[in-house]
Amino acid sequence: MEEEKAVQSAETCEKDCAACAGCDASETVTVVDICFRDGGKIYYFDPNNLQLAAGDHVMIDTARGMEYGICASAPHSLPVRCAVLPLRKVLRKATENDEKIRAENLKKEEEAYRVCQQKIEQRGLDMQLVSAECAFDGSKILFFFTADERVDFRELVKDLASVFRTRIELRQIGVRDKAKMVGGLGICGRPFCCKQFLDDFEPVSIKMAKTQNLSLNPTKISGTCGRLMCCLKYEQDAYEDLIKSAPKAESFVDTPDGRGTITDVNLLRQTVRVRMEKTPDEVGTYKTDEIYVIRNGKAKKTDPPIPEDFAPISSAPRRPRMVAEDVLPDVTLIRDQKEQAELQDDAQPAEEQGAPRRNHHQRHRKPLGEAEAQPAQPQQDKPNRRRRPRRRRGGEKAE
């Protein structure tokens, strides 16, 4: 839109601030963030000493006249070098009449979209209508569409001008701009980044997917718009820094277990998988700081031969493992209470025990002397039970 040429976006300012980190922060200017559509691009305006808050509806001065905007934040300070002066001003807060005009324009946009869609079908044009926007004063209606090739829409403009009796403008946009306007959910389940917080589209290449070791299947690395996902750019700088310190695949390295060839590199975990030279069936996982790179990358014909005895890590003597006796030489480790009892019995001399030493199986038995010293308990008479007479097979009782 034309107002985009008159003001500076918030993201552009952030990039300028990063470039001029040494600018004088004492010189500041008060700005307010304004967007023309919900979730649209944010621009800086002069608050004009008005008490504004996030969500307020205001009338602003743009290159094509007075427009309706929404405050994205309250007025705040900004370094002068990060803003394009002079800033256009916020004229006033929106009144009830402004809100009515805004509602009428929204209805007019819906009607214009429906009529334009019908005219496109009648003309048989190979184009897809995305949205329609009406100026606040009704002086112009702007239509956005997408098309694979260039479309001759001169006759379509004449048809629309005869219906709405105003200036008609058709603008062709890309599939990414369409996704930003329409919105939706990505494959991650969250709303589109371009619709939610991205102001501008940064270039994304297939090289980023290769650097991040992602699948090159187009259905997995492409967004709903059919282009590479914008989120591939988010972690690209981190992966580039990790690649600088990580060895390449097919590198010949030395590990604590011997020499071998790297088969896989995990950049985020900073680990590598190494296939041993002497035992090819064995593959080990090591951290990047535990290996020594003898040859970085795949072997070439011009590379000099590597000596067989060159092994800086595996040939070095290893540290002996510390044993519990080395740490605590005066302490005896007792695992079980039974072993402790046996050690106590072995430590006492036989003459102090007063009884012969008992083995493990006789430990809980009482000595014979103790059993004899105890007084005999009187046996209680058991009650006599009357025996039943036996019966013979014939049925007679036995005497």
Stronger pLDDT, 129 or 309, i.e. the higher one: 129
What percentage of the chain carries pLDDT values higher than 70? 72
Q: What mean pLDDT is predicted for residues 336-358?
A: 56
pLDDT at 300: 84
Give the model's pLDDT for residue 118. 93
pLDDT at 72: 86
Tokens of 164: 């709405």
Looking at residues 92-104, what average pLDDT do you find?
Answer: 91
d(CA 51, CA 222): 44
- CA angle 355/357/358 to nearest 5° reads 110
Confidence of residue 384 (pLDDT cuts 50, 70, 90): low
pLDDT, tens only, 198-236: 877 889 999 999 988 888 898 889 998 889 999 999 989
Q: Is pLDDT of 110 > 90?
A: yes
Query: Which residue, chain included where needed, has tokens 């540290």?
Result: 319
Q: Is the pLDDT of residue 326 over 80?
A: no
**pLDDT for res 213:** 85
pLDDT of 261 reads: 92
Cα(289)–Cα(246) distance, rounded to whole angstroms? Answer: 9
Given a cut of 60, whether residue 13 has pLDDT beyond it is no
Reported confidence tier of residue 328, pLDDT bands at 50, 70, 90: very low
285 φ/ψ angles, rounded to the nearest 5 degrees: -110, 130
pLDDT in tens, 246-278: 898 899 999 998 899 999 999 888 999 999 988
Third-level CATH fold of 100-173: GMP Synthetase; Chain A, domain 3 (3.30.300)
> With bands split at pLDDT 50, 70 and 90, how would you rate the model's confidence at 344?
low
At residue 120, the pLDDT reads 94
Q: What is the mean pLDDT of residues 327-352?
A: 54
pLDDT greater than 50 at residue 31: yes
- C-alpha to C-alpha distance for 269 and 246, rounded to whole angstroms: 11
Instruction: Please give the pLDDT value at position 19.
Output: 42
Contact 265, 248 (CB under 8 A): yes
- Give the residue extent of every domain in the chain: 2-94, 100-173, 180-241
